[in-house]
Every structure is written in structure tokens, then in C-alpha cells.
Amino acid sequence: MPRRKKVSDLGGVQAVRWQDDACMLLDQRRLPEEEHYLRLEDSTSVAQAISDMVVRGAPAIGIAAAYGVALAVRESATGDQADLQSRLDRLAAARPTASNLVWAIRRVSAAMDRDGRDRFDAALAEARAIHNEDIAMNLTMGELGAELIAGPCSVVTHCNAGALATGGFGTALGVVRCGWARGKIQRVFAGETRPWQQGSRLTCWELARDEIPVTLLVDSAMAQLFRREHPQWLIVGADRVTANGDVATKIGTYSLAVLARQHGGRVMVVAPTSTLDVSTPDGDSVPIEHRSGDEIWAISGQPAGINGVAVDNPVFDITPAACVDALVTERGVIQHPDFEKISKLFSRDV
């Protein structure tokens, strides 16, 4: 049995940081082969990096965009409001599904308009606050989620909702880290997550660094895993949770949620309130990103594709609220989320 590290020693990797007046992004396309940071000095490059998956995962996208707003303010220092707005629009359009992106841009914009001080300083301070709060929320959610786990057990996760997808520590992997440190989780099963392979390239890399036992499976092996191993929880992050509790997250999550429930497992969604979007009524209203079919051909080893074959590549799906046993937020856990419970969470003064 491997020695268990303390929570404070887990999940140290940084996907985003502000350094020497620039936004530094760990290029996640190159992991796990190499840890290479890109230095981005303008908002257009940040928008492009988000579209190109240099940085990915809902909270990390929001944090990168927040620093992008600070860069946009610096570029538009002449005070040209139309120019600034077009830079912000470009950031907001970088990816459509994760609510954290627009949430962060709005929050930083409001702060720089509100504060009497220099707009760049105000924007950067707010971006830093978003970043630090995200890490703190993940630590809180990690503990709250781990309390729900009756150990010792195995769990399944999908995609990457770890330190790489957030300001640090992770949402779903934050719960995994706390559950492991408390001796409740014995093993994590991770699906590879086609076509970008966030599961095999990123989640397995993060867990291996922390010496948390992880077994990688192809996505299509999960039904058999649930039938044979009966993992206790499916633990995932989210890109957007709608007013009624539907969850938009990585493609393939819905099938895993159905499988978990079919085999006596439970479904835990771990998401900060920056991912909850009460202005989107339900899952059917979420803009689902469809990426280029080339991504699927590339992973099939046929980069040029096959003439005459159409490809559909939706990268998120909707898990209906009825399939969610627990929604873990930094403000508390909602069992079986629905419209009333989510409204109540937002009506609390925090």
C-alpha cells in the first residue's frame, strides 16, 4: 500500500499564472511529454490559447480570461471603449459552453469600472482574486465531497477536472485527493476521454504525480467496469450547471452517470458557484461546443479522414439533474439538485 501524502502536498501543478506582466499558460496539448509554459502578452493570444486548448477546463478558462481582460485594458490604454469591447468579445467567444468564461470577464469588467483606481490595476487585482478564490473553493469542495464517500472504495472520474482544469487542486480531483488522503479512496478509474484524451494524458499524469493509484480504461470499457467492480461514485466536474440542475460537462459523462446508477453507484458533480448559471434554464438551452472532425480523424490515425464521411464532434453532453445524486459547491452540498434547491443556494447571503 503506497504511503498517502497529506492534502497540502497534493495537486501542486499550476495551469495558469501571472508573471512579469504576462499571462503564463502551461501548454496542456504537450502534456504529459513536456511541461512547457507559453508567455502571452496580449488578450488576442489568450483568446486563441483558450480556443486551441492550450488551457482548458471551465475554471481555468475563466481565470485565463480574467487575466486576458487585464491585458485587453492595457492594450486599449487610450480609453477607446469600442476597442476594449471588441477585445472582450473575442475572449468571450473563445469557447461557448463553460459559464466561467463569461462570468469571469463580467466580474473583472465590473471591478475595473467600479474602482476609482487605475483600470489595469483594478482588473489585475480582480483576476488575481478570482484565481485565489478558485483554489480556496476547490479545497473546501474537496473536503465536502470526501465526506460523502464511505470508504474504502473505488471511484470513477472522466475527463480532467484537476489542478490543470482550475486555479489549482481541482474540483472532482480535489474530492479524489481529499478522499485518498483520508483513506477512503483506494483506487481511481479514469476513462481516456476521446478525442482529446484529457483522462489519459492529464488526469492520469496528475494522479501519478500524487502517487494516487489510478487505472486507465478506454471509454467503451466503462460499462464492464461498473458491472464487475461496482465503483461507489462517479465524480466529475462541470462546465455549466443550469437553473434546474442539469449538468453540461465532458462528452461521455451522461452515459457514465446512467451506468453508475444502473449498477448501484452514485453520481457526484463538483462545481464552484462560478460554474452555476441560473440564467440558463435547463440543459437543452446550453450551447454545446462542436469541434472540428479533424480531431477525431487525428486520434484514429487518419489525419486526412475518409472522403465522403461526415463527422460530428460534440465535446460536451448534458447529464439531466435526475441522474445527479450530489452537487458539491463551495457553499455546500445539494443532494438531488433541482430548481428550488439551486435558487435557495443563490438566495443565501455569502
Q: Alpha helix (H) ranges present in the chain?
A: 43-51, 58-75, 81-92, 99-114, 119-147, 172-181, 204-209, 222-229, 253-262, 294-299, 339-347
List the interface residues with ligand MRU, window 71-100 (CB under 6 A): 98
User: Which one of 134, 210, 239, 325 is the catalytic residue?
Assistant: 239
Which of 105, 148, 165, 175: binder of ligand MRU (CB under 6 A)?
Answer: 165
If binding is defined by CB under 6 A, does position 240 make contact with ligand MRU? no
How far apart, in whole angstroms, are the C-alpha atoms of residue 69 and residue 50? Answer: 13
AA identity, residue 73: V
Among 23, 54, 56, 91, binds ligand MRU (CB under 6 A): 56
| Residues 235/145, Cβ–Cβ less than 8 Å | yes
**Measured from the CB of residue 3, what is the shortest distance to ligand MRU in angstroms?**
27
Q: Distance (Å, rounded) from C-alpha 257 to C-alpha 320?
A: 9
- Residue 270: beta bridge partners? 328
Neighbours of 30 (CB within 10 A): 13
Applying CB under 6 A, does 157 fall inside the site for ligand MRU? no
Kind and range of the H or E element at 233? strand 233-236
Q: Does 249 bind ligand MRU (CB under 6 A)?
A: yes
Determine whether 134 is an active site residue: no
Using alpha carbons only, how large is the chain's radius of gyration in Å? Answer: 20
Of 169 and 226, CB closest to ligand MRU: 169
In angstroms, give the least distance from the CB of 270 to ligand MRU.
8
Contact status: 315 vs ligand MRU (CB under 6 A): yes
220-239 residues in contact with ligand MRU (CB under 6 A) are 237-239
The reply on whether position 161 binds ligand MRU by CB under 6 A is yes
Q: Which residue, 231 or 272, is less far from ligand MRU as judged by CB?
A: 272
Cβ proximity of 271 and 59 under 8 Å: no
Strand partners, 25: 16, 38
Residue 335: which residues within 8 A CB-CB, separation 6 or more?
A: 325, 326
Total residues in contact with ligand MRU, by rule CB under 6 A:
17
| Residue 160 burial by Cβ neighbours in a 10 Å radius (0-12, 13-18, 19+) | buried
The three cell numbers locating residue 340: 428550488
> Taking CB positions, which residue lies at the least distance from ligand MRU?
237
Residue 58 in the binding site for ligand MRU (CB under 6 A): yes
Local structure of residue 257 (DSSP, 8 states): H
Interface with ligand MRU, residue 174, by CB under 6 A: no
In the complex with ligand MRU, which residue's Cβ is closer, 166 or 280?
166
> x-or-dash pattern for ligand MRU, window 186-215, by CB under 6 A?
------------x-----------------
166 touching ligand MRU, by CB under 6 A: yes
Q: Which stretch binds ligand MRU (CB under 6 A): 54-62, 84-92, 216-224, 319-327?
A: 54-62
Nearer to ligand MRU, 31 or 40 (CB): 31
Task: Compute the least distance from the CB of residue 271 to ligand MRU, in Å.
Answer: 7
Q: Is 137 in the site for ligand MRU (CB under 6 A)?
A: no
d(CA 86, CA 72) in angstroms, rounded, equals 9
Smallest distance from the beta carbon of 50 to ligand MRU, in angstroms? 9
Residue 211 burial (C-beta neighbours within 10 Å; 0-12, 13-18, 19+): middle
Q: Does position 250 bind ligand MRU by CB under 6 A?
A: yes
Which residues are designated catalytic? Answer: 239
Positions that interact with ligand MRU (CB under 6 A): 56-59, 98, 159, 161, 165-166, 171, 198, 237-239, 249-250, 315
